[in-house]
């Protein structure tokens, strides 16, 4: 599944509808965030049942605070409509796959 951008204010509703997914908190001009987008694209190609969402932290700073995200790139893993795990920083595709399936 490809990365879908979530409009400001819509993340809670999207997460509630997500059985399993990953949310990427990013900034438009952040080079590390661009790298994580590529990692998520590779992950999504191998895991089409996982919904991939993206939130622009500059467009929706309140949502970062609500999810306890202080830096980007950060990932929030979603299970059963709830955020269950948060991780900040870069990962390679293998690390992401291992992390996702261990949570």
Can you tell me the distance from the alpha carbon of 92 to that of 95, in angstroms, rounded to the nearest whole number?
5
pLDDT more than 90, % of the chain: 97
Question: Residue 72 carries which DSSP code?
Answer: S
Q: What is the pLDDT of residues 43-78, one digit of tens each?
A: 999 999 999 999 999 999 999 999 999 999 999 999
Q: What is the pLDDT of residues 9-43, one digit of tens each?
A: 999 999 999 999 999 999 999 999 999 999 999 99
Closest CA to 15 of 85, 95, 98: 85
**Predicted local distance difference test score (pLDDT) of residue 2:** 87
Domains of the chain in start order, with CATH, are: 3-102 (3.40.30.10)
Whole-model pTM?
0.94
Query: How confident is the model at residue 52, as a pLDDT?
Result: 98
Residue 100, SS3 per DSSP: helix
CA dist., res. 43 & res. 75, Å (int)? 13
């Amino acid at each position: 599944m490809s990365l879908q951008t979530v409009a400001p204010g819509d993340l809670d509703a999207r997460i509630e509808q997500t059985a399993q997914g990953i949310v990427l908190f990013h900034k438009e001009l952040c080079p590390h965030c661009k790298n994580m987008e590529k990692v998520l694209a590779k992950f999504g190609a191998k895991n089409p049942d996982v919904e991939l969402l993206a939130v622009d932290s500059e467009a929706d700073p309140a949502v970062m605070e609500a999810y306890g995200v202080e830096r980007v790139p950060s990932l929030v893993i979603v299970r059963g409509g709830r955020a269950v795990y948060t991780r900040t920083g870069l990962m390679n595709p293998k690390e992401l796959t291992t992390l996702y399936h261990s949570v």
